[in-house]
Copies of this chain bind each other. A is one copy, B any other.
Amino acid sequence: MMRLYDYYDSGNGYKVRLLLTQLGIPFEHLEKDILKGETRSPDFLTINPNGRIPVLEVEPGLYLSESNAILIYLSEGTEFLPEDKFDRARVFEWLFFEQYSHEPFIATSRFWLRHGFAKQKQQALQEKQAPGYAALEVLEKRLKDHPFLVNDRYTIADIALYAYTHVAPQGGFSLKKFPAILSWCDRVSNQPNHITIETAMIETATIEIAL
C-alpha cells in the first residue's frame, strides 16, 4: 500500500490526499508535525532531502516529493490528466503558476496566521497581499468563461489550485470580489468522492478581522 507522509493542515498534502481518494487508491497516512521540526529530522531528510511534506512512498523505499509532481505521477493515464499534448502542457502551466505565483503568497500567509506568527510577520503579510491578489485575479479571469481551468473539465490543475484558493480567507485574502472563483470552488467540491481539507471554516472570520 502507498504511504503518504503528510501534515493535515497543509494544502499541498491535501492535494495528494484528494487525488488518491478520487482515484480510489488506498493509502496509509503518516502525520508529520512541521512545527515540531519532524520534516527536518535526519530520518526524514533521507526520504526528502528538501525537508518538506508531502512525500509519497509509491513502493517500499521509493519516495516522491513535490505535491504537484506527485499529482502528475498519479494522474497519468487517468481522466484527471488530458491525453492531448497541448492540453496536458496547459495543466502543467497551471501547476507551475500555483507553486510560483500563488502558493508562496496565499499559503504562506495562511500558515503564519494559523500558527501564531501574525505579529512577527506583520510586514511580510502586508507584502504578500498584492502578489496574492494578483494570482487570484489571474484565476478569476480564466474561470469567468470556463467551468474548470483546462479543457472545461476537472483535472489535477483544479485540484492543485483549489487546495489553497478555497481557504485563501484563512490567509487574509477575501474571495468576495471573485464570483467566478467562488462558483468554481462549489463545482470542485461537488466532484465525486470529494473530501475536505478538514479545517474549521469558523476560523476564517476571526482571522480576517485580526488582519
Instruction: Enumerate chain A interface residues (CB-CB to B < 8 A).
Output: 49-50, 58, 62, 64-70, 72-73, 76, 85-86, 88-90, 92-93, 95-97, 99-101, 103-104, 138, 141-142
- Of B67, B90, B92, B101, which contacts A68 at CB under 8 A? B92
CA distance A76 to B86 in the complex (A): 11
A95 adjacent to B73 (CB under 8 Å): no
- Tell me if A's interface is mostly helix, strand, loop or mixed: helix
CA distance A46 to B142 in the complex (A): 11
A67 nearest in chain B by CB position: B96
- Of B62, B95, B101, B104, which contacts A69 at CB under 8 A? B95
B93 adjacent to A66 (CB under 8 Å): yes
B93 adjacent to A65 (CB under 8 Å): yes
CA distance A67 to B92 in the complex (A): 10
Query: Can you list 8 A-B contacts with CB-CB less than 8 angstroms, sorted by A residue number?
Result: A50-B97, A50-B101, A66-B96, A67-B96, A69-B93, A69-B95, A73-B86, A76-B85
- Of B64, B76, B95, which contacts A93 at CB under 8 A? B64
Q: A49-B142, A58-B86, A86-B62 are in contact. Are A92 and B104 (CB under 8 A)?
A: no
A53 shortest CB reach to chain B, Å: 13
Chain B residues with CB under 8 Å of A70's CB are: 89
A70 nearest in chain B by CB position: B89
A97 adjacent to B66 (CB under 8 Å): yes
CA distance A69 to B150 in the complex (A): 14
Chain B residues with CB under 8 Å of A103's CB are: 100
